[in-house]
Chain A
Amino acid sequence: DTAVSQTPKYLVTQMGNDKSIKCEQNLGHDTMYWYKQDSKKFLKIMFSYNNKELIINETVPNRFSPKSPDKAHLNLHINSLELGDSAVYFCASSQNRAGELFFGEGSRLTVL
């Protein structure tokens, strides 16, 4: 009964491909996030959704498109993958946008 679950955990793909990462939380939280952690372990926010509404959209290339079909799910689709997209992508959720974040275990994306 994982609280925040992401799939896939590992993804290896070629440049130019399109891929998706899925995230689900069973905590009943109303806010979900995508973070990118680079090779230097720096965690940077990409997107945040509150009750299916986009509330944070950092300066992320528009090749990245989040989709929230309901408040328990936030998926991330990436078009035309580039080498620099290689990173660990963390999904997270929180209640009320001001509380602690609960993180998924991460999806390690490697672009060759």
Chain B
Amino acid sequence: EDKVVQSPLSLVVHEGDTVTLNCSYEVTNFRSLLWYKQEKKAPTFLFMLTSSGIEKKSGRLSSILDKKELFSILNITATQTGDSAIYLCASLYYGNNRLAFGKGNQVVVIP
């Protein structure tokens, strides 16, 4: 079964638009939630979220975790063509310390 569900699976936006990506996860033994960006090759780390309600920002990207409703959002403002990528959400659990990935949000930004 899927521990991590991402939506939408794919979207196409124009440069300058704002993108909101969703990631829901299972609660049992939840430890933290991570976001990665994958362009052509290796996924690269964006954020790790452990506490609810605390926004993390990096330039035009921001992310927040809601541990009551069991989801996280990744926002990208003023999108650029370089933001085109697959955004992967993963949840980490206590016990097995296993990182479970979702299927990704494929974002295409057109000029």
Contacts and interface: CB of A to CB of B under 8 A. Distances in A.
Interface string A79-111: 000000000001000000111111111100000
Contact of A43 (B44, B96, B101): B101
A100 to B, nearest CB: 4
Contacts of B44: 103
Given A98-B32, A100-B34, A41 B99 contact: no
Interface residues of B, number: 24
A105 B40 CA distance: 9
Contacts of A41: 38, 86, 103-104, 106
Contacts of B99: 45, 101
Question: Size class of A's contact patch?
Answer: 20 to 34
B88 interface: yes
Nearest to B43: A103
B45 A106 contact: no
Contacts, number: 49
B104 A42 contact: yes
Interface in B33-86: 34, 36, 38, 41-45, 48, 86
Contacts of A103: 42-44
Contact of A106 (B36, B41, B103): B41
Contact of B42 (A40, A90, A98, A99): A90
Interface in B81-111: 86, 88, 90, 92, 96-101, 103-104, 106
A49 B44 CA distance: 21
Interface of B: 31-32, 34, 36, 38, 41-45, 48, 86, 88, 90, 92, 96-101, 103-104, 106
Given A55-B97, A103-B42, 17 more contacts: A35-B101, A41-B86, A42-B104, A43-B43, A43-B88, A43-B101, A44-B101, A45-B98, A45-B99, A45-B100, A90-B42, A90-B43, A98-B32, A98-B92, A98-B97, A100-B45, A106-B41
Interface of A: 4, 35, 40-45, 48, 55-56, 90, 97-106
